[in-house]
Amino acid sequence: MNAQKGFTLIELMIVIAIIGILAAIALPAYQTYTKKARFSEVVLAASSVKGAIDICYQTRGEGDLANCDDFDKVGGTQAEAEAGDQVASVAITTGTGVVTATGDATSVDGKNYILTPTSSNGTLIWDEAGSTCIVAGLC
């Protein structure tokens, strides 16, 4: 007797169902991963401005953050900070030195990254509180 070899319809349906479940789990995780990778450009833009403010504060801040709360005072331009494709805007709040970088509305949903400086013993301590990227899991 010759035995037939092959898969039954039920076996094929089970394999297709398993592949569908795995794809349903993997796709959202992949989309979050790609947004997080794109958002790293926004974090980098804010970090470069943060570094410029730190240097300004240490060299000519004289203990007053108001001496370093503008792009002209820290020796950079806003256009340089906003040069990335994923960066919509980068701003320094006058008087407080808070750095706010906002991502592109389409690629990273317009989430922002906020760095708030606090002066402590002649140095600046930075805090990320208030960033919308934290809730979204992008930073």
In this prediction, residue 135 carries a pLDDT of 87
Distance, CA of 41 to CA of 111 (rounded, Å): 12
Give per-residue pLDDT as tens, 45-92: 999 999 999 998 988 867 778 888 889 888 878 888 899 899 999 999
What structural domains and CATH numbers belong to the chain? Answer: 10-136 (3.30.700)
In this prediction, residue 116 carries a pLDDT of 94
In this prediction, residue 1 carries a pLDDT of 67
Is the pLDDT reported for residue 24 higher than 90? yes
Identity at 87, one-letter amino acid code: V
**Side-by-side strand order, sheet with 123-127:** 87-92, 99-103, 112-120, 123-127
Q: How confident is the model at residue 28 (pLDDT cuts 50, 70, 90)?
A: confident
For the whole model, what pTM was predicted? 0.79
Give per-residue pLDDT as tens, 93-133: 998 899 999 999 998 999 999 999 998 888 899 999 888 98
In this prediction, residue 61 carries a pLDDT of 66
